[in-house]
Structure 1
Amino acid sequence: MEIILEDERLTTVAAERMLMEADMHWSKRKKVIDTIAATYILQGYLDKIKK
């Protein structure tokens, strides 16, 4: 099985910014922040393998 490493250091920051721009209350942001960050990681991977 191949292991592919993905840099995820800034995904939480990007997700936080996106949710703040959407004017989501902090208590709701706290519940979905990891899901949004994981989405950024997955999208980065999919973009990478597409090339």
Structure 2
Amino acid sequence: MQIQQYEERLRVAMLQSDVAALDELIDDDLLFVGPGGGIHTKEDDLQLHRSGA
């Protein structure tokens, strides 16, 4: 699969809050840095999608 295909799968999963797909696509060690400089883990991101926020 090409990088663009993974990116599209990730984009769709994020828009649909598809936690199972996000869990599969996002590496366990990935850290997200928010616009305010806050650091969030993969599990933080998945929990946000689970909550519907």
* TM over 0.5, shorter chain: no
Normalising by the residue count of structure 2, what TM-score does the alignment of the two structures yield?
Answer: 0.35
- Greater fraction strand: 2
Normalising by the residue count of structure 1, what TM-score does the alignment of the two structures yield?
Answer: 0.36
Of structures 1 and 2, the one with the larger relative CO (CA 8 A, separation 6+) is 1
Rg comparison, structure with higher value: 1
- Greater fraction helix: 1
